Amino acid sequence: MANPIDAPLTRRRWWQKFKANHSFSESFGKFSENFAKFMGTPRFLLYMTAFVVIWIAINLIGIYGYRFDEYPFILLNLMFSTQASYAAPLILLAQNRQDDRDRVTAEQDRQRAERNLADTEYLTREIASLRLAMRDVATRDFVRSELRDMLDDLIEEIRAENQNSDAEQLSAAAEDSSSTGADDLSEPAPVVTDHTARKGD
């Protein structure tokens, strides 16, 4: 595809440019919206009031005796009828475009609400799973603490039993040593005879 800058310039009529740049329905729709918006402003009422007053004054007083729309102002009534016949379809067209725009906005809002609902449900499920996981972690921690406490109790009991057994062994050894000492004291001392004295006698 050629670069538009490198492409040769072609001459087109103004209606061709208008047709190439904007579609007729879109442009006419924008015109109807602008017209309906202008008709609903105080400026339009002031302009119409000034126009009617000037029209009636000119045709009542006359310019050099010439009155182009004398009483009952048939030409003015014809202009008002023509304006009303064109204004009503333009206003309806602007309303239809606004309805279409509101429909598109409502559809976008509905889709956005559905996405928000889906995201909320997803976050709710994730939070519930996280709560379950945290509950499982808390349960495991509780079981570990209980097992640790039981292990400490068992270690204390084993230490107490070891101390009791050591004390019993020490008491038994003390009793054995005391009984052996008493036996040594109860035995009679050996009699030593002086053989040299007997030989002298």
The pTM (predicted TM-score) of the whole model is 0.44
Instruction: Please give the share of the chain, as a percent, with pLDDT higher than 90.
Output: 18
* Least trusted range by pLDDT, from 14-18, 59-63, 70-74, 82-86: 14-18
Contacts of 58 (CB under 8 A, 6+ apart): 67
Helix (H) or strand (E) holding 120: helix 74-186
Distance between CA 169 and CA 171 in Å, rounded? 5
With bands split at pLDDT 50, 70 and 90, how would you rate the model's confidence at 190?
low
Q: Tokens at residue 94, please? A: 């602007």
Over residues 57-78, the pLDDT tens digits come to 888 887 767 788 888 889 999 9
pLDDT surpasses 70 at 121: yes
With bands split at pLDDT 50, 70 and 90, how would you rate the model's confidence at 197?
very low
pLDDT surpasses 60 at 140: yes
- Under a CB-based contact definition with an 8 Å cutoff, are residues 29 and 96 in contact? no
Give 182-194 as a DSSP string: HHHHHSPPPPPP-
pLDDT surpasses 80 at 86: yes
Q: What's the sign of the alpha-carbon dihedral 10, 11, 12, 14?
A: positive
